[in-house]
Amino acid sequence: MSPQHSIDFCPLCGGGLCGIRICGIQRDNVPEQDANASSASPHGLVVCDECDAIWLEPDLTTAHHYPDVEHAKCPVCLDALWGPNSRWANHDDLTRLQWDLAINPALDITEG
Amino acid sequence: MINRVNPHLVDLTTVARSKAASMNKSKQKLVGLGILLLMLAGYTLLPPELQQLIQLQPDDATTSQNNSDGQRLNGQEGKSQQLDTNSKQQEAAKSAQTEPTVRSPTNADIENTAGSRAAKEFGQNTPATDDESRQKIGSSQRSPTAASKNSSGSDQPRGPPSNQGQRSQSSDNNRQSPDQTGTLVHGLLQEISKDQYLSPAGLIYGPGSAEGHRLDHLRRHVQNQPKRPGKHGVFDGGMQGALKTIDDAFRRAQKEQRTTKTIDRNRTIYTVDLGKRIGFVGGQDGGRRRNPMARRVRLVLEGKRVITAYPM
């Protein structure tokens, strides 16, 4: 459950990777009436994989958020942070989010 | 003349009577000697342990106060007591022969007293003195510095980190599952409500994190991830070792012992130096440095709820 692409180590807990996460990925498959409930399109988050701290931009000097301990939600769409509507961003997601230049390739984790 | 008794005849009868009396006396003496000989033979036939027990009947206090007095007692009064016990034993044997189904109280007394004495002499006193002597030896031979060196040094890393990984895995395998213990998870945690686990130090592990539960997140830190960028702290001792170390760190943090504390909103981040090896630094950075040992714990809490914890 580690991020594939990260921008840096967590300045708060010190041990986590601040990985890029894409949220709202199921919007295309959701029926219209449900889609109206949340108008958020796929959006990016920076999340520490140790302490769950969240940044809304790929810049760790901006304000961070702490989600609820047990029921962590995305600050943008309020969906479950770790639910099926979001995932650690892959390279295509980075391109889609236009955050591909923000990552530090040295922190990439290739599974397997 | 007819009624007159012949004095010679009288003399003859008295002589015969006196001779019979003397014969009886000698017989009695012989019988007495025979009994004594039988007792002595019985005593010599007794096992040496029972002989010692019979000899040790005089009061222990007097023997401990003065050995020579005790030896004298063993030599004089002791003999009479030996005879007494022997006669008791013989009586008991006789009664046992005559009443095989009824247990002789005298015999039982002997057995009980002998048993209790034997227990005192061989069973109870010996381990106590051994323990005392061990403690004395331990305290005299081990200096405080040596003890402290030993306590901290025994956990120091030896051998390659791969051995440490195996060590943590094996201890992880030995951990008690909830089914085995009935109530405790990993031998430590008490389930206070659904998916909520309370540690002995008062920390709570509940749902959360990318893994779904904080315990599953913690499990990441009981095995190395060599490919993970940066450092990856790994606890010694599997899950149980990790939980114990975290509790220890939290107790020290509460006492502010070797602790740095940062508060950010509703979160508290402790870094606690435990003064001994509690794991090692893994990951890519740790691997480059040949996995140095870790003595500190980073503990991220929200109240008493654990967010994450790892060695560093």
Of B210, B212, B305, the CB nearest to A49: B210
What would the mean pLDDT of A102-108 be, rounded to a whole number? 96
Q: What is the pLDDT of residues B145-179, one digit of tens each?
A: 333 333 333 445 533 344 444 444 444 443 344 44
Contact A22, A42 (CB under 8 A): yes
| Residue A2 contacts B where some CB pair is shorter than 8 Å | yes
Does B229 sit within 8 Å of A15, measured CB to CB? Answer: no
Q: What is the pLDDT of residues B253-266, one digit of tens each?
A: 999 999 999 999 99
Residue of B nearest to A10 (CA): B230
- Give dist(CA A109, CA A88) in Å, integer: 11
| A108 to chain B: closest CA residue | B229
The C-alpha angle with vertex B56 and arms to B50 and B62, in degrees rounded to 5, equals 175
B46 against B190, higher pLDDT: B190
Supply the ipTM of this predicted assembly: 0.90
The mean-pLDDT minimum among A24-33, A45-54, B13-22, B80-89 falls in: B80-89
Q: Does B72 score more than 60 pLDDT?
A: no
User: Given a cut of 60, is residue B188 above it in pLDDT?
Assistant: yes
Q: What is the mean pLDDT of residues B220-229?
A: 96
Which residue of B229, B308, B312 is in closest CB contact with A109?
B229
Task: Spell out the residues 6+ positions from residue B256 whose beta carbon is closer than 8 angstroms to its own.
Answer: none
Q: How many helices (H) and strands (E) does chain B have?
A: 13, 11
pLDDT (tens digit per residue) in B109-135: 333 333 333 333 333 333 333 333 333
| In the predicted structure, residue B213 carries a pLDDT above the cut 90 | yes
pLDDT at B82 over 90: no
What pLDDT, on a 0 to 100 scale, did the predictor assign at position B26? 73
Query: Chain B within 8 Å of A11 (Cβ-Cβ)?
Result: no
Does the distance separating the beta carbons of A66 and B266 come in below 8 Å? yes
Q: What angle do helix axes B161-173 and B238-254 make, rounded to 10 degrees?
A: 100
Interface contact B265, partner A, CB < 8 A: yes
pLDDT for residue B140 is more than 70:
no
Confidence class of residue B201 from pLDDT cuts 50, 70 and 90? very high
What's residue B36's pLDDT?
78
pLDDT of residue B40: 74
Please give the pLDDT value at position A28.
54
Residue B305 at interface with chain A, using a CB cutoff of 8 Å: yes
- At residue B43 the predicted structure's pLDDT band, cuts being 50, 70 and 90, is low
What local confidence, expressed as pLDDT, does residue B215 receive? 97
Residue B233 sits at the chain A interface (C-beta within 8 Å): yes
Domain ranges of chain B: 46-139, 161-311
What are the tens digits of pLDDT across the range A29-69? Answer: 555 555 444 556 899 999 999 999 999 999 999 999 999 99
Check B312 against A15: CB less than 8 A apart.
yes
With contact defined as beta carbons under 8 Å apart, do B215 and B195 qualify?
no
pLDDT exceeds 90 at position B221: yes
- CA B293 – CA B152 distance, rounded (Å): 13
Interchain CB distance below 8 Å, A13 and B265: no
Q: Does B226 touch chain A (CB under 8 A)?
A: no
Here the contacts of B198-203 (C-beta below 8 Å, separation 24 or greater) are: B199/B243, B199/B246, B199/B247, B199/B250, B200/B247, B201/B246, B201/B247, B201/B248, B201/B250, B201/B251, B202/B250, B202/B304, B203/B246, B203/B247, B203/B250, B203/B301, B203/B304, B203/B305, B203/B306
Question: Does A83 lie at the interface with B, CB-CB under 8 angstroms?
Answer: no
Domain ranges of chain A: 6-107
Q: What is the pLDDT of residues A58-89, one digit of tens each?
A: 999 999 999 999 999 999 999 999 999 999 99
- Percent of chain A scored above 70 by pLDDT? 86
